[in-house]
Amino acid sequence: MPGVCQRHPRYAVLVGFVLVATFYFLIPYAPEHRPDVHFMSMSDNDLSSRVERSTRIYDKLLTNRQGLIKKFGPTPQDIAVFPPDKAPWPPYTVWDFFPAAFNCPHEVERLGALGDGGKWVCGISRVQEKPDCIVYSFGINYESSFEAEILENTKHCEIWGYDFSVKSFGPEIPKSLTHRTHFKAFGLSGADKHGPDDTPPMYTLETLMKLNGHTHIDILKIDIEGWEFDTLTTLLKPYVSSGLPVPFGQLQLEIHIWQKTFDEYLAWWEMLEAVGLRPFWTEPNLVYQNYNKQGTSDLAEYSFLNVKGDNIFIKDPKRPFHPDGNHPHGHQ
């Protein structure tokens, strides 16, 4: 019996057209025809490929930032941090120039309270069983839900907390986990000031790490009410000139952009980028804005990943962790 296609040649043509069109739209364009698009390959399942792809995305942002500065400037000195509400109305704020455009290559999870106090962390699973996990937290302010969740989500992480305005961690930390906490009523600063007449005592991060016998910090949280500019400038400048990686894996930072011009802030931010810090999360501090009834949101929370060196968030460990925990604190 003759086939359907033989009896109905027009039907055969229609079927052939549908098949060709289906293959055309289902098969992706070859990368060589779309150089601006980076396709996911099987190799993207490994950590280094994911970090590389995130870097390409962030590099595109750097070009876009320069274009935005030229559009509203044309120089950084011409940009207002928060433009006045008058004609011609420029539709931007300072935060639009610095989005958190780096993709964390792991899970992103908020640790701690919703609202003020909690922080966004990239890949807490990476230190879940790390025997030499080190966390530093500057700025406690009676609220330690962030630190409590780190302790509860990891087996070995120890936390060094510093705040001269309080006497201890907040009540959120269970008593069963306090043996992994260490607290001092010190302040973080760009210079050491801890003599008999210095109240409160102030230390640089470098000095505190030496006192504690640490060469690397996995997670660093800083909330020091505007002093982050001087403190981080002092800390990071040597790494800008040397090219060496900074001694921490990621940074949770509240930024207080009080009395800063755009060009000052841009130079400081570009210093963070120069040492390898890439923002993967941000949110404005709306609690502060609400209580102060201000028209501008001049506080923002940022979380950064350090993409230089071989810290645990961007590189797999060179050798497996041992269950006895006999790893030097300097291993990253």
Per-residue pLDDT reduced to its tens digit, 219-269? 999 988 778 999 999 999 999 999 999 999 999 999 999 889 999 999 999
253, part of any domain:
yes
327, part of any domain:
no
Average pLDDT, integer, range 139-145: 89
The DSSP string of 46-105 is SHHHHHHHHHHHHHHHHHHHHHHHHHH-SSGGG--SS--SSSS-----GGGGS---PPPS
Q: Do residues 106 and 19 share a domain?
A: no
115, part of any domain:
yes
pLDDT at residue 331, rounded to an integer:
43
Say which range, 72-81, 194-203, 242-251, 287-296, has the weakest mean pLDDT.
287-296
Average pLDDT, the chain: 84
How many structural domains does the chain have? 2
User: Rounded distance, CA 221 to CA 239, Å?
Assistant: 19
160, part of any domain:
yes
Q: Do residues 70 and 207 share a domain?
A: yes
Closest CA to 119 of 269, 279, 283, 231: 283
Q: Do residues 8 and 144 share a domain?
A: no
Q: Do residues 27 and 171 share a domain?
A: no
Closest CA to 126 of 90, 153, 92, 152: 153
Q: Do residues 131 and 222 share a domain?
A: yes
Q: Do residues 66 and 213 share a domain?
A: yes
Q: Between 32 and 19, whose confidence is greater?
A: 19
Amino acid identity at 207: T
Q: Is the pLDDT of residue 290 over 90?
A: no
Q: Do residues 26 and 102 share a domain?
A: no
pLDDT at residue 320, rounded to an integer:
54
What domain range includes position 123?
Answer: 49-306
Tell me the percentage of the chain whose pLDDT exceeds 90.
Answer: 63
Beta pairing, strands 217-222 & 187-188 = unpaired
Convert the pLDDT of each residue in 156-170 to its tens digit: 999 999 999 999 999
User: Rounded distance, CA 203 to CA 231, Å?
Assistant: 10
59, part of any domain:
yes
Q: Is the pLDDT of residue 25 over 60?
A: no
105, part of any domain:
yes
pTM beyond 0.85: the answer is no
CB 252 within 8 A of CB 284: no
- Those residues whose C-beta lies under 8 Å from the C-beta of residue 87, and which sit 6 or more positions away, are none
CB 72 within 8 A of CB 97: no
pLDDT at residue 287, rounded to an integer:
59
324, part of any domain:
no
Q: Is the pLDDT of residue 15 over 50?
A: no
Average pLDDT, integer, range 34-39: 41
Query: Any alpha helices (H) in the chain, and if so which ranges?
Result: 4-7, 9-26, 47-72, 145-153, 205-212, 228-242, 262-274, 286-292
User: Rounded distance, CA 242 to CA 237, Å?
Assistant: 9
pLDDT at residue 102, rounded to an integer:
97
Q: Do residues 83 and 153 share a domain?
A: yes
Q: Is the pLDDT of residue 93 over 50?
A: yes
Q: Is the pLDDT of residue 318 over 50?
A: yes
Q: Is the pLDDT of residue 63 over 70?
A: yes
